[in-house]
């Protein structure tokens, strides 16, 4: 589904990603772990299409198309979803209006009619339940005055509404207490299918207790330095990131 | 005669017009003479005038002008401007009250709507008591000009203890085939414990020449009275050739008495040059005043809001929120003065002006001015100007929205804080529709 080859990306002339290679197939869950500053969030931002990052080299193919050629909105319309590490507050724009606009623009892109108001409401209620989001929050402005946990849950709620093929969760676990973490993980697990794939970007392995990855990659200094299965995450947690640094030196 | 004024300055044209026509103007000639004298001294303000340096009215007042209608609207054209279906309507065409198209008969008990001319003719004691008592001719040249030269307008009186539930919609419509200056004037008196909702809309239609509308409305709100006031300034949207012809100088002078509540809302949606001078004198205790404004500018438009809130007595609250979206080469100015006089202890006065600048060539001038002479008060003011937030646009795009709809959604969100203060549902819908069209063009 997603093939990243030798991806180099920089911001303000500083190279952050220094040749990433990654292959993801439908139905798989990949975890990307790494210390602060290793390039995890940059990778997510480049895949979502943030224009501040310059891609100097490399290729990203998604479902046979050149992902980097697409505008951010067309990536979303093709089924790429980024759950933001820091979701943006948008006062004055209601969650409901925002999602309705998003869904209908995605449908228009696919040549479909706008969704009937009744169907939209049915879906809204169903997906709210999935992430145990308070109905009051959906009628409020996007993320405005939400707690950290509510913002993260709102990201997963949006993901549920948009039903992406490739979901990228950028540190969705950070700042979540264990109860909120379980709710978020449960939501993600329920959305998993043989046709979609998930990339989980995280600093700690705790989320991986709840969303079991098929592959774990360790990102260090802009490169994937080690790949393995879920045991790698446990080893990393036990030994700390220093063990990677040692291994690279050796 | 024609050739004589061709080369003269507009100020001289105005003075000579006053001299020839003053015998035919209604009302108190002494008052008019005094006002003209004051206008003569003050003159038309130019860039040296501190209060008008960003709004060059003198620059547009060039050439030859007429002082009465040279063209009329058809009844169908006027009918189209009645956007509120359930309202008492007042039509003021080129500054003259049109009785045949206005609701001035069969009104509910306690409500009077008539032309200024009829108010004078009928010797209304309320009119006598309040007319031209609040807008000071020496404070501003356009108050002086209007007081000297007005020909007509509407007088609205809501008697003591009367609640008028249906809104009263005053439609100022102007049309001209030759450059014209008009001076409509309104007096609104809401007596003790009475309530009213009044909308003033300003439209220029089907014109082929400049119209300078120097409108003045005096509003008196007596003890415990409640009034909602709306101004919808939509000056030239109906011009087919896109020419810039509607110029509006709009003075609103309000006096409030004890425990009254006044909320005013100014929506400036188009117009080549729009200047609003809004003054609220809080002459009593426990008064509440709300001032809201939204201006959407583009092209070469100039929109200037000058407000003055005068806290004269203790225990009053004022709340002011003006927001603007500036595009093209347009210029928007906000100048908000708040006076808290020595006696006005326990005053709460809040002011905020927020702007979004969409273009490199647009200009916003914002100047909050607080003058506080009492020591036990809560006052705050703030002003901000910024672009549409790129992070918000990206967040919306990352969910599949086009940049255009992302921008539209954000502009709408920005404006909604002001639009949501409109309490008349059909009016709110109308404004929503209007600004949506403006945003369509911008994004």
Number of domains in chain B: 2
Domain boundary among B240, B265, B283: B283
Number of domains in chain A: 1
Instruction: Tell me what the mean pLDDT of segment B411-416 comes to.
Output: 94
* Contact present, B415 and B429 (Cβ < 8 Å): no
Chain A residues touching B388 at Cβ < 8 A: none
Q: Print the domain residue range for B395.
A: 389-443
- Chain B nearest CA to A40, separation (Å): 18
Judge residue B342's burial from the number of C-beta atoms within 10 Å of its C-beta, 0-12 exposed, 13-18 middle, 19 or more buried: exposed
CB atoms within 10 A of CB A230: 17
Chain A residues touching B414 at Cβ < 8 A: 92
Average predicted confidence (pLDDT) for chain A: 92
Using CA atoms, how far apart are residues A181 and A160, in angstroms rounded to an integer?
16
- Here the ipTM equals 0.95
- Whether residue A82 and residue B414 make contact (CB cut-off 8 A), yes or no, is no
Same domain, B170 and B53: yes
Chain B residues touching A115 at Cβ < 8 A: none
Of A72, A91, A103, the CB nearest to B413: A91
**pLDDT tops 80 at residue B441:** no
Q: Closest chain B residue to A87 measured between Cα atoms?
A: B395
Residue B319 lies in a domain: no
Nearest to A244 by CA among A149, A224, A45: A224
Using CA atoms, how far apart are residues B363 and B304, in angstroms rounded to an integer?
11
The model's confidence at residue A98, banded by pLDDT at 50, 70 and 90, is very high
- Whether residue A162 and residue B400 make contact (CB cut-off 8 A), yes or no, is yes
Residue B162 lies in a domain: yes
Residue A213 lies in a domain: yes
- Whether residue B400 and residue A105 make contact (CB cut-off 8 A), yes or no, is yes
- Whether residue A76 and residue B400 make contact (CB cut-off 8 A), yes or no, is yes
Using CA atoms, how far apart are residues B45 and B145, in angstroms rounded to an integer?
12
**pLDDT at A130 (0 to 100):** 87
DSSP string, A154-216: HHHHHHHHH--SEEEEESTTTT--HHHHHHHHHHHHHH--TT-EEEEEESSSHHHHHS--SEE
Q: Is B408 in the A-facing interface, judged by CB distances under 8 Å?
A: no
- Dihedral of the alpha carbons of B180, B229, B83, B268, in degrees to the nearest 10: 60
Helix (H, G, I), strand (E, B) or coil at B101: helix
Instruction: Tell me what the mean pLDDT of segment A70-94 comes to.
Output: 96
Of B397, B402, B413, the CB nearest to A90: B413
Q: Closest chain B residue to A74 measured between Cα atoms?
A: B400
**pLDDT at B242 (0 to 100):** 54
Residue A129 lies in a domain: yes
Nearest to A229 by CA among A243, A212, A242, A241: A212
Considering the entire predicted model, what is its pTM?
0.89
**pLDDT at B241 (0 to 100):** 53
- What is the per-residue pLDDT across A176-187, written as a single tens digit (0 to 9) for each? 889 889 998 998
Of the listed ranges A75-79, A132-136, A204-208, B213-217, the one predicted with least confidence: A132-136
- Chain A nearest CA to B397, separation (Å): 5
- What is the per-residue pLDDT across B67-105, written as a single tens digit (0 to 9) for each? 988 888 888 889 989 999 999 999 999 999 999 999 988
The token duo for B159 is 């008697």
Residue A13 lies in a domain: no
* Contact present, A184 and A178 (Cβ < 8 Å): no
Residue B343 lies in a domain: no
**pLDDT tops 80 at residue B131:** yes
Chain B residues touching A109 at Cβ < 8 A: 400
Interface size between A and B, measured as CB pairs under 8 A? 66
**pLDDT at B102 (0 to 100):** 94
Of B398, B410, B414, the CB nearest to A76: B398
Of A90, A92, A105, the CB nearest to B405: A105
Residue B209 lies in a domain: yes
A144-147 contacts, C-beta under 8 A, 24 or more apart: A144/A89, A144/A90, A144/A91, A145/A89, A146/A87, A146/A89
- What is the per-residue pLDDT across B12-51, written as a single tens digit (0 to 9) for each? 999 999 999 888 888 889 999 999 999 999 999 988 888 9
Chain A residues touching B419 at Cβ < 8 A: none
Residue B380 lies in a domain: no
Residue A35 lies in a domain: yes
Pick the residue of B396, B397, B399, B418 with the most A CBs within 10 A to test the interface with A by mutation.
B399
Q: Is B230 in the A-facing interface, judged by CB distances under 8 Å?
A: no
Average predicted confidence (pLDDT) for chain B: 92
Domain boundary among B221, B255, B283: B283
- Whether residue B399 and residue A76 make contact (CB cut-off 8 A), yes or no, is yes
- What is the per-residue pLDDT across B183-239, written as a single tens digit (0 to 9) for each? 999 999 999 999 999 999 999 888 888 889 999 999 999 999 999 999 999 865 444
Q: Print the domain residue range for A240.
A: 28-41+71-249
The model's confidence at residue B6, banded by pLDDT at 50, 70 and 90, is very low
Question: What letter would DSSP give residue B137?
Answer: T
Which CATH number covers residue A171? 3.40.50.300
Pick the residue of B325, B400, B413 with the most A CBs within 10 A to test the interface with A by mutation.
B400
The model's confidence at residue B443, banded by pLDDT at 50, 70 and 90, is low
- Whether residue B395 and residue A88 make contact (CB cut-off 8 A), yes or no, is yes
Instruction: Using a pLDDT cut of 70, give the percent of chain B over it.
Output: 95
- Find the angle CA(A145)-CA(A150)-CA(A155) to the nearest 5 degrees: 110
Length of chain B in terms of residues written: 443
**pLDDT at B2 (0 to 100):** 42
**pLDDT at B275 (0 to 100):** 96
The model's confidence at residue B307, banded by pLDDT at 50, 70 and 90, is very high
- What is the per-residue pLDDT across B236-295, written as a single tens digit (0 to 9) for each? 544 445 556 789 999 999 999 999 999 999 999 877 899 999 999 999 999 999 999 999
Same domain, B91 and B210: yes
Residue A5 lies in a domain: no
- What is the per-residue pLDDT across B310-321, written as a single tens digit (0 to 9) for each? 999 999 999 999
Instruction: Tell me what the mean pLDDT of segment B309-338 comes to.
Output: 96
Residue A8 lies in a domain: no
- Whether residue A88 and residue B402 make contact (CB cut-off 8 A), yes or no, is no
**pLDDT at B316 (0 to 100):** 98
Instruction: Tell me what the mean pLDDT of segment B133-153 comes to.
Output: 97
Instruction: Using a pLDDT cut of 90, give the percent of chain B over it.
Output: 78
Instruction: Tell me what the mean pLDDT of segment A11-33 comes to.
Output: 95
Residue A216 lies in a domain: yes
Residue A59 lies in a domain: no
**pLDDT at B8 (0 to 100):** 59
Of B399, B401, B416, the CB nearest to A92: B416
Chain B residues touching A48 at Cβ < 8 A: 398
Of A88, A93, A109, the CB nearest to B391: A88
Using CA atoms, how far apart are residues B261 and B281, in angstroms rounded to an integer?
12
């Amino acid at each position: 589904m997603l093939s990243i080859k030798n991806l180099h990306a920089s911001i303000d002339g500083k190279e952050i990603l220094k040749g990433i290679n990654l292959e993801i197939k439908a139905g798989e869950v990949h975890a990307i772990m790494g210390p602060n500053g290793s390039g995890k969030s940059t990778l997510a931002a480049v895949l979502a299409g943030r224009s501040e990052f310059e891609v100097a080299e490399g290729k990203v193919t998604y479902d046979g198309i050149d992902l980097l050629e697409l505008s951010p909105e067309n990536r979303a319309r093709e089924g790429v979803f980024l759950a933001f590490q820091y979701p943006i507050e948008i006062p004055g724009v209601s969650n409901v209006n925002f999602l309705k606009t998003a869904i209908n623009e995605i449908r228009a892109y696919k040549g479909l009619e706008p969704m009937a108001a009744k169907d939209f409401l049915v879906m809204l209620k169903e997906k709210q339940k999935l992430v145990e989001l308070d109905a009051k929050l959906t009628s409020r402005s996007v993320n405005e005055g939400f707690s950290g946990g509510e913002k993260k849950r709102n990201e997963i709620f949006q993901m549920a509404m948009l039903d992406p093929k490739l979901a990228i969760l950028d540190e969705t676990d950070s700042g979540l207490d264990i109860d909120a973490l379980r709710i978020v993980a449960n939501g993600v697990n329920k959305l998993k299918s043989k046709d979609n794939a998930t990339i989980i970007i995280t600093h700690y392995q705790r989320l991986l207790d709840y969303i079991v990855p098929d592959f774990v990659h360790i990102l260090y200094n802009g490169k994937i330095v080690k790949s393995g299965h879920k045991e790698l995450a446990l080893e990393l947690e036990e030994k700390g990131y220093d063990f990677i640094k040692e291994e690279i030196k050796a | 005669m024609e050739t004589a004024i061709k080369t003269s300055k507009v100020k001289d044209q105005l003075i000579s017009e006053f001299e020839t026509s003053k015998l035919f103007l209604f009302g108190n000639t002494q008052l008019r003479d005094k006002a003209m004298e004051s206008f003569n001294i003050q003159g038309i303000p130019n860039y040296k005038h501190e209060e008008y340096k960003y709004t060059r009215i003198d620059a547009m007042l060039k050439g030859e002008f007429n002082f009465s209608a040279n063209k009329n609207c058809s009844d169908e054209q006027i009918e189209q401007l009645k956007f509120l279906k359930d309202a008492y309507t007042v039509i003021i065409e080129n500054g003259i009250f049109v009785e045949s198209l206005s609701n001035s008969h069969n009104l509910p008990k306690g409500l009077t709507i008539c032309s200024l001319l009829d108010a004078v003719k009928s010797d209304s004691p309320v009119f006598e008591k309040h007319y031209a008592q609040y807008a000071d001719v020496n404070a501003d040249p356009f108050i002086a000009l209007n007081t000297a030269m007005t020909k007509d307008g509407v007088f609205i009186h809501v008697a003591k203890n009367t609640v008028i539930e249906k809104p009263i919609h005053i439609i100022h419509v102007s049309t001209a085939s030759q450059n014209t200056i008009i001076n409509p004037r309104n007096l609104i008196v809401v007596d003790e414990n009475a309530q009213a909702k009044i909308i003033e809309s300003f439209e220029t239609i089907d014109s082929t020449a400049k119209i300078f509308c120097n409108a003045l409305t005096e509003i008196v709100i007596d003890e415990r009275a409640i009034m909602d006031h709306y101004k919808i300034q939509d000056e030239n949207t109906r011009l087919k050739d896109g020419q810039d012809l509607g110029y509006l100088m709009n003075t609103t002078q309000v006096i409030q008495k004890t425990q009254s509540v006044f909320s005013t809302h100014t929506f400036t949606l188009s117009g080549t040059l729009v200047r609003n001078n809004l003054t609220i004198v809080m002459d009593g205790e426990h008064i509440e005043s709300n001032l809201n404004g939204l201006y959407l500018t583009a092209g070469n438009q100039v929109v200037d809001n000058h407000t003055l809130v005068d806290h004269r007595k203790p225990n009053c609250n004022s709340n002011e929120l003006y927001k603007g979206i500036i595009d093209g080469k347009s210029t928007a100015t906000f100048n908000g003065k708040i006076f808290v006089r020595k006696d006005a202890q326990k005053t709460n006065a809040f002011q905020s002006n927020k702007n979004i600048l969409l273009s490199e060539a647009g200009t916003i001038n914002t100047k909050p001015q607080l003058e506080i002479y009492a020591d036990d008060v809560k006052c705050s003011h703030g002003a901000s100007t910024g672009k549409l937030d790129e992070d918000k646009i990206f967040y919306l795009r990352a969910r599949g929205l086009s940049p255009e709809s992302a921008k539209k959604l954000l502009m709408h969100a920005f404006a909604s804080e002001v639009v949501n203060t409109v309490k008349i549902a059909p009016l709110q819908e109308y404004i929503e529709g209007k600004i949506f069209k403006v945003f369509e063009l911008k994004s």
